[in-house]
Structure 1
Amino acid sequence: MKRLILPVLAALSATPAAAASGPFFSLGNTDFVVLLGFLLFIAVLIYFKVPGMLAGLLDKRAEGIQDELDEARQLREEAQTLLASYERKQREVQAQADRIIAHAKQESELAAEQAKAEIAQSITRRLAAAESQIASAEAAAIREVRDRAASVAIAAARSVVAEQMTPASAGKLIDDAIADVGAKLH
């Protein structure tokens, strides 16, 4: 192998002036030798179908890249669909949350109104109960004052009658009372 490489290297390292001396189709001309080597290299590549293999490999690679691009497009479309779905769901959830908040506000306002009405009714009932208790206490106080006044009047009348009453006048009062009861019964 070294034997083949060294003459080729020596021929390649020759100066252009030395290569141009002599006829072109001579093995002494390095340009002709390089041309023959290049043509032989191309012929070997074509014989072993290297360009077809390279084209096949490049086609296979291009198909692989195209498949990856198609898959990436499909994944992107799926991601966009999924994103749109999540955005739609997010809007629906937001709308539902807004409805829940509005409903809760309405319920709290209604509950506040009801609480105010119940407090007003409770105050009215308590005022009525207090007025009733005051009226009852007032009536009881009036009764007690009358009862006390009657008791005092009876006691005063008893003491006045007892002081002014003699046994003769007491007998006469008893006889008058008996006659009066007898007249009313017949």
Structure 2
Amino acid sequence: VGENEPFVSELLTSLPTTIVDLEPHQIHTFYESVGQMIQAESDPQKRDEYLQRLMGLPNQKWAEIIGQAHQSVNFLKDQDVIRIVLNILQTNTSVASSLGTYFLSQISLIFLDMLNVYRMYSELISTSIAEGVPYASKTSYVKLLRSVKRETLKLIETFLDKAEDQPQIGKQFVPPMMDAVLGDYARNLP
């Protein structure tokens, strides 16, 4: 009533300035809250548009990272990059928890690249441990890599738990996960 545009749209327009001074955990909470507002939108086209606008910043950063990784896979080994990847995944998990099924377009966008990052980080962990460095599994580097793997699984689990058409969604997402996750489990060192 008396709005030029819906409040959620205003929020999304001012998103970069709204979150600029927030800590990562505050940004995740903010994204989850905006996800609740988007979830309440009854018009599917507006909902998708709002989701795209909400995820614009993380998706832009994700695309930059994946683009750099295509140039040189070593880019993904940098600890600062690993932290950014973790943060992007945590943001996605926050939105997935509030949007449920409506998160499908977003997870579809990043899913295969996310599994490739998961696979690569699994190999890095195994290599670090296999090199026989004492306490390799306890290093901050390996712990950070494991955090990304854990958050990847948490994002998938959160989305699947909240999704409504689970059999159909399962058909789309489970086959690519088989090698990345179960194969990784079989290949990993104890």
TM-score range, shorter chain: under 0.3
Higher helix share: 1
TM-score normalized by structure 2?
A: 0.20
